[in-house]
Amino acid sequence: MSEFRDRFQHCPDALSPAIGRHSRRQQHFRNYCSALTLPIERKSIESIAAAVDPDHVQASHQSLHNFVTSAAWSDRAVLDFTT
């Protein structure tokens, strides 16, 4: 898992242009990506929100949910990066 985590930590920087320049969107993306490598049992938005900001779970949950479901970003750019 450590090797995967080391390789995966560079993805947010590389995918940053696909996500867009909005700083809050960038932060949500980084939080989401970093949480995917955490040793939490479920990788749901709620458990990710609790892991990345335990003092503001509800607000973090809402922001991450909006990022995952509604934020405009280039799926083509992400797919190009991953293939």
Encode pLDDT of 8-21 as tens digits. Answer: 677 777 777 777 77
Q: Hey, what long-range contacts does 69-74 have (CB within 8 A, 24 or more apart)? A: 71/19, 71/20, 71/25, 71/28, 72/20, 73/18, 73/19, 73/20, 73/25, 74/18, 74/20
Name residue 11's amino acid: C
- Tell me: pLDDT of 55 over 80: yes
d(CA 11, CA 14): 5
Q: What mean pLDDT comes out for the span 55-60?
A: 94
Give, for 48, the enclosing helix (H) or strand (E). helix 45-52
pLDDT of residue 30: 82
pTM passes above 0.85: no
Q: Mean pLDDT across the chain, nearest whole number?
A: 81
